Structure 1
Amino acid sequence: MSTTQRSIGHRVVVVGGGYTGMLAAIRLAHRTRRADVRITLVNPSPRFVERLRLHQTAAGQRLAEHRIPDLLAGTGVTFVQGTATALDPERRVVVLDEGAARLDYDTLVYALGSTTDVSRVPGADLHAFTLDGPRSAGLTARLRQVAADGGTVAVCGGGLTAVEAATEIAETHPGAQVTLISRGEPAAMMGAKARAHMHRALDRLGVTVRTGAGVAKVLPDGVELDDGEVVAVDACLWTTGVKVPPLAADAGIAVDERGLILVDATLRSISHPEIHAIGDAAAVHMPWGLIHGTCQSGLPTAQYTADTIARLVRGKPVKPFRFGYFHQPVSLGRRDAVIQFTHADDTPGRWYLTGRLAVAYKEMISSSPLTTYRLSKRMNVTTIVSKGGRATRTREMR
């Protein structure tokens, strides 16, 4: 590091103010409070989005407003509102808003998360709503109108988000006929007993489940299935498939076929080690395979990366990242839930939780990031429930 660089401190830029970027910035500020480190967090909006609760907002429920500057208050982290539109990893520069501003960095934390992919199925980008991004606008009002008219809502997808959205909509808008459309079994990653409880909840709420054929096309007033059948619907919510911004790939940073940054065992880019990728922006491998993007895995990558940067700034060695899954929490409306406890590789274990205890457990999980941010301003709070056990102790550097 040059004399000039030392005089202005070690510059860390965190791109992305979601769950992972927020924790990385706050925890790193605490870990480097006695070091000459300057941290800047960049995000297009000053509003912090609780993605774990997006299915609630889709059903028209109002949530508490959280502002990024308020969450960062007292940390010393500088917030810059802007959209990262380009990276120059050779000059170590982040370009904001098509060149309106530039941020120099010594270390970059890349935390640009994924969004729902509406490009793979014709018509989804034109006629389907999503829980995130521009296609979420107007969903709440549309659902209210459909419910008032006794119309039909199609929730397309078989993942946990689809199940949460379908049950939330059905409970909040009992006048609507909700149909969950999935090629395979919904929530197939859960154990049989947990899925049985989920299906009982779907039946109780009047949700129709259609499996065996995926959606081939989204129409203005329906969805066309793979087998050619057209299902008439008044509103379509798309929850399947994700994509990441092309920013890293466009900058020449090594990425996989989906655009995720390829990282080593310390979550540093294999092509540009001054770049640390976290959450669902990174292709993180464990012995059983690739970690999929969830808050459960994302927060540990943020915690680990903040600690890693703090150690590197001080010239200390770092150990490889280790992580194991612990649970699959699913809300089934506001009065029911199911929690499937898992093995480290996210396969279902023997134990599961349902009913009021599961509702309380799920609410604790959904609220935990904000609690973690507040506590992380003054202490080191762990977000890692499991490090994966014996299988990850011998993990080789990738």
Structure 2
Amino acid sequence: MAEHIVVVGAGYAGLAAAKLAAKWTDSRVTLVNARDRFVERVLLHQLAVGQRMRDVPLADVLKGTGVELVVDRVTEIDPEAREVGLTDGALAYDRLIYALGSYSDLSGVPGATGHAHTVSTREDAEELAVALEGARAVAVVGGGLTGIEAASELAESRPDLEVLLVTGGGFGDDLSDKGRRHLRGVFDRLGVRVRDHAHVTGVRADGLVLDDGELVGADTVVWTAGFAVPDLAARAGFAVDGRGRMLVDQTLTSISHPEVQGIGDAAAMKRHDGLELRMACATGLPTTQQAVRALAKRVGGGEPADRLDFRYHVRCVSLGRRDGLIQFVDADDTPKERVLTGRVAAVAKELVVRGALLFQSHPTMPAG
């Protein structure tokens, strides 16, 4: 009798995993997701400033694959019974692929939950769009790629706004010298102010409170400083790290439950040399292919190679619609001095985004 593989979460990693599992095994595959649409999360900062997003029904992407779609929210996982609890009933599984992703973490700073906006989900971005309608000053908290892209998009789309980026580290710390210079030039051109090495200790309706007591005024706060993962894996008793991400081996298999795989942002993945992989599409898509290859090998009665071969190539940053930054990196994600900038980089970033969506229709195509 064919095994039943249940995939929870239909983000970039989960949707691809379900389609690959159906293609590479003879198993029955069910994909569970809280929404009936695939959301291009990397475009949500654009949605927040009024740009349109593609409408991608999951049913259309899954047509002809044999994957059964269940639109419901996962409430719990019982690994002993091998069952996924849903708002409406439960699903039994033989194998589980855990792909519930991540979301912006507002829990660490007083007032953030009540006064800050995020771009983690489509609903978050739509709420931010409403908040921006009457705003004059916006503070973006977080100097990672999400914060940089959000601040750039806001400033370019809404030149009437005063945009401030606040980061606890140095501005562009994860980039090369050439990358930082270009980033600073674009922010200067767009009029985005930067406060780096500034630590936010509170969020109020009228702005941010820094650790020295200074109030930084803002009508709207956009929070991009750090991500958290759902607590379902921890509550289920799976082995997790200190952030609640599922601990997996080189085949992306749970170290505590061999019938379960963790992929995407919700898994703590390490390369064969011990390098911990960052949360990103650039990580999630190629490692998902490797994870499902390993699963298919096991379903077929074999044993996969116990080695996660993975390397980084670039970091792609949109800086509005007319500029961008492609930062070339070594295999371990260390930035090189080689960069691509300007309109060419903006086009390259758009092609990467379109490629991530195309991958969902053709998940066997090379992903890294």
TM-score range, shorter chain: over 0.9
The answer as to whether partners of 1:167 and 1:333 remain within 8 angstroms in 2 is yes
**What letter corresponds to residue 201 of structure 1 in structure 2?**
V
Q: Distance in 2 between matches of 1:40 and 1:112?
A: 14
**Which of 79-88 and 127-136 deviates more?**
127-136
Match of residue 366 from structure 2: 382
Q: Does 1:303 align with 2:289?
A: yes
Shift of 1:137: 4.3
| Mapping of residues 135-146 of structure 1, within 5 Å | 135-146=124-135
Among the aligned pairs, what percent are the same residue?
Answer: 46
Match of residue 354 from structure 2: 367
**For the pair shown, which has the larger CA radius of gyration, 1 or 2?**
1
Shift of 1:144: 2.6
CA deviation vs aligned residue, 1:196-243 (integer Å, no higher than 9, x gap): 101101010010111121111001111101111101111100001111
The answer as to whether partners of 2:47 and 2:126 remain within 8 angstroms in 1 is no
Match of residue 104 from structure 1: 92
**Which of 247-256 and 284-293 deviates more?**
284-293
**What letter corresponds to residue 270 of structure 1 in structure 2?**
I
Given candidates 337, 341, 348, the residue that maps to 1:354 is: 341
CA deviation vs aligned residue, 1:18-45 (integer Å, no higher than 9, x gap): 000011111222222xx2x100000000
Unaligned runs of 5+ in 2: none
| Mapping of residues 57-68 of structure 1, within 5 Å | 57-68=47-58
The answer as to whether partners of 1:15 and 1:110 remain within 8 angstroms in 2 is yes
Unaligned runs of 5+ in 1: 1-5, 385-398
Match of residue 22 from structure 1: 15
SS of structure 1 residue aligned to 2:14: helix
**Which of 284-293 and 245-254 deviates more?**
284-293
The answer as to whether partners of 2:163 and 2:192 remain within 8 angstroms in 1 is yes
SS of structure 2 residue aligned to 1:145: coil
Could you state the TM-score of these two structures normalised by the residue count of structure 2? 0.97
SS of structure 2 residue aligned to 1:141: helix
SS of structure 2 residue aligned to 1:290: coil
The answer as to whether partners of 1:143 and 1:173 remain within 8 angstroms in 2 is no
Match of residue 388 from structure 1: none
Match of residue 261 from structure 1: 246
SS of structure 2 residue aligned to 1:268: coil
The answer as to whether partners of 2:32 and 2:71 remain within 8 angstroms in 1 is yes
**What letter corresponds to residue 346 of structure 1 in structure 2?**
D
Shift of 1:313: 1.1
Q: Distance in 2 between matches of 1:86 and 1:212?
A: 40
Q: Does 1:38 align with 2:28?
A: yes
Match of residue 344 from structure 1: 331
CA deviation vs aligned residue, 1:71-121 (integer Å, no higher than 9, x gap): 111101000001111111011100001xx2111111100001010000000
Q: Distance in 1 between matches of 2:118 and 2:79?
A: 33
**What letter corresponds to residue 367 of structure 2 in structure 1?**
T
Q: Does 1:233 align with 2:218?
A: yes
Q: Does 1:159 align with 2:165?
A: no
CA deviation vs aligned residue, 1:138-188 (integer Å, no higher than 9, x gap): 211221321xxxx11000111011010001000111101000111222331
| Mapping of residues 156-195 of structure 1, within 5 Å | 156-195=141-180
